[in-house]
Amino acid sequence: MTSFCANPPADEGIAPSRKVVTDEQRETAENLKNEANGYFKNAKYEDAIRLYTEAIEMNPFVPAYYCNRAIAYIRTEAHGYALMDADKALELDPNFAKAYYRRATANMAMLRFKDSFKDFRTVVKRVPKDAEARRKLAECEKIVRRMEFEKAIEFDEAGRSVVDQIDLTSMKVEDDYDGARLPTRSVTHDDGSTETVEYMDKSFLRDMIQRFKDQKMIHKRFAYQIILEAKRIFTECPSLVDVRIPQDATMTVCGDVHGQFYDFIHIFELNGYPTADHWYLFNGDFVDRGSFSLEIILTLFAYKWLNPTTIYLARGNHETNNMNKVYGFEGEVKAKFSNLMFKLFAETFNALPLAHVIQDKIFVVHGGLFSQDQVTLDDIRKINRFSQPPSEGLMCELLWSDPRPQPGRGPNKRGVGIEFGPDITEAFLKHNNLDVLVRSHEVKDEGYAVEHNGKCLTVFSAPNYCDRMDNKGAFLNVTPDAKYEWQQFSAVPHPTNVKAMQYASQFNSFGF
């Protein structure tokens, strides 16, 4: 399986009214389509896209070719390209229900819920007996109504923190609770008064991780305490964090882990747990898709509380409310705890730094670079990140952009952010006296990719992504002299009773 770096839909360059397709070309195109279908069934999506494209070039008049390529693009998260293909199919056949279906799916993935609702409504009108389309229409309508409700009450909650609604003293730990408990100690204040406070230690972390492995949860009091402490620490961080690795230490940079807790813990088992001489940077997308996101984020936050200088976290495009509504994290937190806790996570995600610079030479960000030239590190430091990301601008592009092989810039295959070429990477690094860009955001067959003449590195740490991609995971070990080496790893077993997207089950068949 090749890496998921899809090419844009081909511009056939011949107006359909002028192109004459012979019988031989029609037959060849149909054979290419059938071969592509075989690759698609075996999850070889890039190969399928290549052959669908060849079929389209041979015969650009068949709406099904565009529809088939659209679902392959959706599986590679190239939702912007999928939207273009669905539009082309509808241009050829305005009554093609499957094209509306594909467009609705792409719009849903791009969080354009109202547009998706319109297309699903069209599908149901044209194919009223399609039970799956009716179900998706209902789910889509539910999201639209909920968003409208949340927007209506947003004004009333403006400026108020959910922290004010949390009372830890009322969360009593029951006598029959048999899980990890935070230790306590007495603290003397400047006025001479004393207070008993809870703190994080290695014993609690060890017991919590084992409890998570056993598919058990910690008490809500301790979960809230962990999140609150992490929020406090991140709020004090700048938007761009400078990291200096001690001479006797190593830093490991990990990419997306996406709720795959057992693979996430396997990284520590292979490479060592966070310590004073072994630091970690997790580069966004800790949650969603995988169904153990809560276990991952609580573990990361607990390590941040234990020793803030040994572990660093950057915000990804999935540490956002709208993504969490669609891809599972909101549903998971509500199922395991409460909506109040999800709101606290949302505020905490707003506080996550957006980028890191290691040893003054390695720029680390979840997505990529920018639609404008001469962006400086100070420009990133000045970003007011304490909000949901906007749909454009520096913050959006940091979280969403992707590299491409050709020079220059172009629309992103995801429909958000941009695609940037090797010249853009070279210019940004030179302008900021940096050596290399490290980013994540894209699944890769080998767990990593080296692009742009070695200047753009992609690291992805969720092997067998969503239990179906059969890719390796990888991480990057960095030494104090800014040298680095890759390490790959394979997926490990996880409980079979919990599937990917378990808490977003209404979207399981959307192709996400």
Query: Residue 152's pLDDT band (boundaries 50, 70, 90)?
Result: confident
Q: Residue 2's pLDDT band (boundaries 50, 70, 90)?
A: very low
The mean per-residue pLDDT over the stretch 152-167 comes to 79
Which residues in the chain are classed under CATH 3.60.21.10? 184-238+245-507
Tens digits of per-residue pLDDT, 363-390?
999 999 999 999 999 999 999 999 999 9
Class (C level, CATH) for 184-238+245-507: alpha beta
Instruction: Decide if pLDDT at 154 tops 70.
Output: no
**Which stretch of 224-233, 271-280, 463-472 has the lowest confidence by average pLDDT?**
463-472
CB atoms within 10 A of CB 446: 14
Range(s) for CATH 1.25.40.10 in the chain? 23-154
Q: What confidence tens digit (pLDDT) does each residue in 394-440 have?
A: 999 999 999 999 999 999 999 999 999 999 999 999 999 999 999 99
Look up tokens 């905490």; give the residue.
Answer: 348
* Of residues 259 and 113, more confidently modeled: 259
Active site amino acids: 318
* Model confidence pTM above 0.85: yes
pLDDT tens digit sequence for 309-367:
999 999 999 999 999 988 999 999 999 999 999 999 999 999 999 999 999 999 999 99
Say if residue 90's pLDDT is above 60: yes
Residue 453 has pLDDT above 50, yes or no: yes
Q: What is the rounded CA–CA span in Å between residue 279 and residue 308?
A: 10
**What pLDDT does residue 149 have?**
79
Q: In what helix (H) or strand (E) does residue 67 lie, and over which residues does it extend?
A: helix 63-75
Residue 303's pLDDT is what? 98
Q: Report the alpha-carbon distance of residue 116 to residue 119 in Å, rounded.
A: 5
Query: Quick one: pLDDT at residue 228?
Result: 98
Q: With a cut of 70, say whether residue 505 has pLDDT above it.
A: no
- Asked if 83 and 415 count as a contact pair (C-beta separation under 8 A), the reply is yes
- pLDDT for residue 10 is more than 70: no
- What is the pLDDT confidence band of residue 1, given thresholds at 50, 70 and 90? very low
| pLDDT tens digit sequence for 189-220 | 888 899 999 999 999 999 999 999 999 999 99
Residue range 128-133: mean pLDDT, rounded = 91
Q: Which two tokens stand for residue 378?
A: 């100070």
| Span 16-32, pLDDT tens digits | 555 799 999 999 999 99
Rounded CA-CA distance 180/203 in Å is 9
pLDDT of residue 27: 98
Residue 253 pLDDT greater than 70, yes or no: yes
Mean pLDDT of the chain: 93
Q: What is the reported pLDDT for 51?
A: 98
Give CB contacts under 8 A, 24+ apart, made by 435-438. Answer: 435/361, 435/362, 435/482, 436/361, 436/362, 436/363, 437/363, 437/364, 437/365, 437/368, 437/369, 438/253, 438/283, 438/362, 438/363, 438/364, 438/365, 438/476
| DSSP annotation string for 79-144 | HHHHHHHHHHHHHH-TT-HHHHHHHHHHHHHTT-HHHHHHHHHHHHHHSTT-HHHHHHHHHHHHHH
Question: What fold, for 23-154?
Answer: 1.25.40
CB count in 10 Å sphere of residue 378: 9
Residue by residue, DSSP assigns 219-232 as -HHHHHHHHHHHHH
Cα distances from 329 to residues 180, 196, 200, 512, in angstroms, run 23, 33, 25, 14
pLDDT reported for residue 434: 98
With a cut of 80, say whether residue 299 has pLDDT above it: yes
First to last CA, the chain: 18
Angle (deg, nearest 10), helices 97-109 and 79-92: 160
Residue 12: pLDDT above 60?
A: no
Confidence of residue 504 (pLDDT cuts 50, 70, 90): confident
pLDDT, average across residues 105-117: 91
Percent of the chain clearing pLDDT 70 (strictly above): 94
pLDDT at 156: 57
